[in-house]
Chain A
Amino acid sequence: GESVGLHLPTLSVQEGDNSIINCAYSNSASDYFIWYKQESGKGPQFIIDIRSNMDKRQGQRVTVLLNKTVKHLSLQIAATQPGDSAVYFCADHPGDDKIIFGKGTRLHILP
């Protein structure tokens, strides 16, 4: 079936460096994607979203890139900080209905 998945389960990044978290999706009809951050023992927190009519969207220290040709999106975090340690999920949000979460990538920040 259709699913949203992540390439790597764990990513370790030096503090201050940029982080890139990747995500692949399989539903070619998907038109809206969201990145969430989940800290240990907490619910998911919205980071940034992007519609399929866009290739790139920037927020504060975060950028999401969407490549519809290869069904791939990525989350870039600039100047990674200790507070960025969390699990990051990409999610497919078809229409106004349910959100389908990917597997998640745990981001470790190295001192």
Chain B
Amino acid sequence: GAVVSQHPSWVICKSGTSVKIECRSLDFQATTMFWYRQFPKQSLMLMATSNEGSKATYEQGVEKDKFLINHASLTLSTLTVTSAHPEDSSFYICSARFPREGGYTQYFGPGTRLTVL
């Protein structure tokens, strides 16, 4: 099946710094990728939809200036958490849209654990 990777798998940073997370589709081109955030023992919450070559679409309540998304190529989307604070500590998961019979499905990456001290 299609493979989506994320880098890094975990990161620890100091409060106030910025952190970049990469999401790559390894064996297919993805014009659309999605970014999710998951707090402990909770479900995945969609943050934004990343479209190659255009601006990301953010879900209600997600600060676009804090969570910068860049989808510069058909295989790479990046999420930058700017001026990170402890409340931004979470599990960040990306997915890539993949064509299937009758439409599309999504393949998910392994996630990135962000801890802000």
Which residues does A use to contact B, with CB under 8 Å? 32, 34, 36, 41-46, 49, 89, 93, 95-104
Contact = CB atoms under 8 A, between A and B. Distances in A.
Interface size class of B (residues with CB under 8 A): 20 to 34
14 contacts: A41-B91, A41-B111, A41-B113, A42-B110, A43-B4, A43-B6, A43-B111, A44-B44, A44-B93, A45-B108, A46-B105, A97-B49, A98-B49, A101-B45
Interface of B: 4, 6, 34, 42-46, 49, 91, 93, 95, 97, 103-111, 113
Interface of B is mostly: strand
Contacts of A42: 110-111
Nearest to B93: A43
A34 B100 CA distance: 14
B43 A98 contact: no
Contacts of A41: 91, 111, 113
A96 B97 contact: yes
Nearest to B107: A46
B93 A96 contact: no
Nearest to B36: A101
B42 to A, nearest CB: 8
Contact of B44 (A34, A89, A96): A89
Contacts of B110: 42-43
A89 B6 CA distance: 21
Nearest to A98: B46
A49 B45 CA distance: 20
A102 B4 CA distance: 22
Among all A-B residue pairs, the 9 with the closest Cβ atoms: A43-B108, A96-B104, A101-B44, A101-B43, A44-B108, A43-B111, A43-B110, A96-B103, A43-B93
